[in-house]
Amino acid sequence: MEALFPLLGLHIFITAPSSRPHTAQITTGQRHRSSQEKSRSSPPVPLRRYLQNPPDMHYGNGMITRCRDVLESEFQYCSDLNTTRFLKRMLEVEKPDFIAFTGDNIFGPSSTDAAESLFKAFGPAMESGLPWAAVLGNHDQESTMNREELMSFISLMDYSVSQVNPSAEDLSSPVKDGMVTNIDGFGNYNLRVYGAPGSHLANNSILDLFFLDSGDREVIQGVRTYGWIKESQLSWLRSISHESQGQKQNSDQSADAFPTATSPALAFFHIPIPEIRQLYYNKIVGQFQDAVACSSVNSGVLQTLISIGDVQAVFMGHDHKNDFCGNLDGIWFCYGGGFGYHGYGKAGWPRRARVILAELGKGDKSWMGVKRIKTWKRLDDEKLSKIDEQVLWVHQPS
């Protein structure tokens, strides 16, 4: 839908020029441009095919903020700058299209100025000129900004496509300054990836990216627990997913289109849901080393994801020593593992980041929708070792 992001001016396209199969590009509007470019139109930004997902940066004050849980031989010269270096290395090696930060971007208690820490944490993303988006974790607001102020600030940073909350066009709900107000949290929004320019899907969404605020801390009957995704957020998710699926079905009329009732979607939030604990007894890809630190409240997130039918994988943070993907009722739930050096970890266990790849199908006459979604991780070691590559979803003709 052309007017999907009236405030962002954002259209996302997947394309595949003949010189590079399965590549993508993004055409941008004002909010996606840097501050120096806001007065002139922005050309298409050439993209490759990846989403990069660095969870739990836990950025503090930069050089003076020391690392946690590293080998004694590494400690003396280790600081937030190691996190910055890791992110830059990942961008250089993977050359992603898009970066999704899944919360605890800064570590409030170690950040004397939230805005300054955000600039440092997201600095490599802004310098890259790539579109990026973020949600909040449970530590971001523990510095000098509350959660609404943080998301507002993040949404205005260079090349950010983040939103404070859904735009007024996403729901028939009370609005203020163009944003829905009767939804819990800050940082609930969706981004739509469009088909290849020149193809029959050029003006249609072929992949949805849902971002949700899982909160921070709450008190239930006098007992502190972690936050959770509320019913107002799930109601919005059901509504926007239903709308998106309706548009995809209406556009799926070409002989070159995938004959599928739903195109895939991915979801991003910070705090895991309670059902993740069940994966301790299931087959997983990766390591399960942390107890799942989730809310005592089960708000029905899994049931909602199952019912809407389009979300194929969820990407989380929070539990730094978990880096696995496991499947619950047909949906993959994937941790990224700890990324930031000021966050807790495990000495001798390298920091890591998750990469997501969405590949397009090729028809007789043009590019089609997403045919496969894969993921892997890279370690912050000498070779940026690539591990645990797996397929999350493959298009199945109906």
Reported as a single tens digit per residue, the pLDDT across 116-156 is 999 999 999 999 999 999 999 999 999 999 999 999 999 99
The β-bridge relationship of strands 50-53 and 352-362 is antiparallel
Give the pLDDT score at 250.
62
For the segment 330-334, the average pLDDT, to the nearest whole number, is: 98
pLDDT at 21 over 70: no
The most confident of the ranges 18-32, 258-272, 359-373 is 359-373
Higher pLDDT, 162 or 253: 162
Amino acid, single-letter form, for residue 53: N
- Give me the chain's average pLDDT, please: 84
Residue 190, H or E segment: strand 189-194
pLDDT at 203 over 90: no
DSSP state letters, 207-220: EEEEE----SEEEE
Query: Could you tell me if 138 and 226 are in contact, meaning their C-beta atoms sit under 8 angstroms apart?
Result: yes
Among candidate residues 139, 309, 312, 178, the one with its CA nearest the CA of residue 238 = 309
Give the pLDDT score at 349.
98
Query: Could you tell me if 96 and 48 are in contact, meaning their C-beta atoms sit under 8 angstroms apart?
Result: yes
Query: Could you tell me if 145 and 118 are in contact, meaning their C-beta atoms sit under 8 angstroms apart?
Result: no
Local structure of residue 377 (DSSP, 8 states): E
**Band (3; pLDDT cuts 50, 70, 90):** very low
pTM tops 0.85, yes or no: yes
Give the pLDDT score at 352.
97
For the segment 197-226, the average pLDDT, to the nearest whole number, is: 92
For the segment 47-71, the average pLDDT, to the nearest whole number, is: 87
pLDDT at 211 over 90: yes
Sign of CA dihedral 336, 341, 342, 344: positive
Give the pLDDT score at 48.
39
pLDDT tens per residue, range 244-294: 877 656 655 554 555 455 689 999 999 999 999 999 999 999 999 999 999
d(CA 56, CA 101): 8
pLDDT at 333 over 70: yes
pLDDT at 362 over 50: yes
Query: Could you tell me if 138 and 318 are in contact, meaning their C-beta atoms sit under 8 angstroms apart?
Result: yes
The most confident of the ranges 43-52, 63-72, 194-203, 367-376 is 63-72
| Proportion of the chain above pLDDT 70, given as a percent | 80
Sign of CA dihedral 35, 54, 357, 186: negative
Query: Could you tell me if 385 and 323 are in contact, meaning their C-beta atoms sit under 8 angstroms apart?
Result: no
Residue with tokens 């930060």: 101
For the segment 289-315, the average pLDDT, to the nearest whole number, is: 98
Local structure of residue 79 (DSSP, 8 states): B
Local structure of residue 59 (DSSP, 8 states): B
For the segment 183-194, the average pLDDT, to the nearest whole number, is: 94
d(CA 151, CA 154): 5
Among candidate residues 256, 229, 385, 253, the one with its CA nearest the CA of residue 311 = 229
pLDDT at 173 over 50: yes
Q: How far apart are the first and last CA of the chain?
A: 25
Crossing angle of helices 114-121 and 80-94, rounded to 10°: 40
CA dihedral (370, 56, 142, 71) in degrees, to 10, reads 180
Among candidate residues 357, 387, 386, the one with its CA nearest the CA of residue 370 = 357
d(CA 287, CA 130): 30
Among candidate residues 297, 295, 176, 185, the one with its CA nearest the CA of residue 235 = 185
d(CA 211, CA 103): 11
Higher pLDDT, 324 or 171: 324
